[in-house]
Structure 1
């Protein structure tokens, strides 16, 4: 049995952090579903920028859309929604078989809106309605300004993938925004079955400090953060507050481990996948990491609900001078800036391509 199948059987969903028209047209994505236990996907501006700017797969579609006089951003969303609708249809059997737990695809609101609550709410509602697919998440960053948007989108019935979470405190803030949205639905007599995932970024922790900690701590912080978040996730699902929502018909916001490719060549290429194997969670990874795990990954055991050795690892980092909370704030801020830069690069690529094809 392939390690990917073992991980799936252990209760963790494997999502691919990639989507291109070539993956869809060639059948490569469908093959990953059939052979590598892939049950969903996520997307981001960087992925689309590379696909649009460095190939010709989108040229015909862009030529047709140019006749409508769309802006570069509107043109992008048309292209992205076409791809994601096709992917959503591919994953729809999984979505139905799991009663809406799995089989999702994700589309991001413009990163330029990360600190604009009202605009994020409006855009989340618009994109979800325009997509017209039940198994599509709208990605909203878990920034201070994003939290009210997560609550409002949830109340409006929009499934949300909360992104740009780093610390356990970030995760809890996102989970509480989600629950507030559900509680408002219950109070209004609405169905509280609105799905969500909370995406905690892993490998960026280690990349940020890899040269600043002793060898015995290198490439250990990311997994400790993930383990700590998982413990908190399990505790929240056992809380009276969540039990009341579940009794009303709500389903858990699943914890998602994002950024799980190894950034340090000295680290094992499946380091984060093996350490964060946990039931009722999601791991979204690039195709290279997915194939590496399928080829030589080892699933020794699933993650303890008590977080393994995360406390001792976090304590060791604190003694080594790592301020985890301060680093979390920096990573989230840097992540938001990186998303904006990728978004601007994407729009430049679309603009250049449009001019070339006009």
Structure 2
């Protein structure tokens, strides 16, 4: 839900502004910095040549071309490892093709899902696809893992984005379920966002067959995780990253309102959804360990950050990284390893009294 700095919130961004606003998010998701700069730089140059000030109509097509380049490399690869790595990279590019205006967003999301499946077939054949009425995703990690963590994406993210978070949890011996829920990723074209996300997490816990899960939620996923921690008793620990405590529809930047309207199925539905994103009464009901991570440079009009959530929750801890942006992609060393360690300890050490 980030917006470019240095321009009025309701002004449509140029390609250069939009690319800069999403740079740390892209590199945090594993896109190569130089390839990202090359693809977005060519877009910005073409926009300038046409004499346009704003417009992102070519964003999706450009990112899908980059993704298909990696698909072609995968097909030419001489080892399964190389092919799998190219398929995984293609999945990331296809996912980022959905961020800008793109008439083929549904196709891009499907292609991201398919490419990630092909990558895991080669790189992690033990990974399992698990689906339910309102979710889909991949379960990765050892079958005998001591704990399972569910990674929950946000408004315009999906299970193909947060590889560094997933890898950090996997390295600590946990199983990880990376998911798309209503209005997210592979399900965005056929479903709409819902504020009672604990119903979805309940389905996930049922499908995983576990009595305890950890949750990591990023951006709007932070709200989903906190709401679920308050209402789903099987949530044993939770981490939110750049998650909203409250949304104020009238103050949200127009690009965010437009995006939310697309994911909610219309403006009125989006306005109602935004009105439900309020943890004031739910935060005190969170009795499991809770870690809230915010970036000091993540300032989006209409979004109240997570400090009240950590303060009101019974076992809440608050970490604010002063130079961190939205999703803290520019500050990974300051929080990611520590958050993964915190989650591992929270799920494997004796739980605090609820």
TM-score over 0.5 (shorter chain): no
Compute the TM-score of the two structures, normalised by the length of structure 1: 0.30
Compute the TM-score of the two structures, normalised by the length of structure 2: 0.30
| Greater helix share, structure number | 1
Structure showing greater relative contact order (alpha-carbon pairs closer than 8 Å, 6 or more residues apart): 1
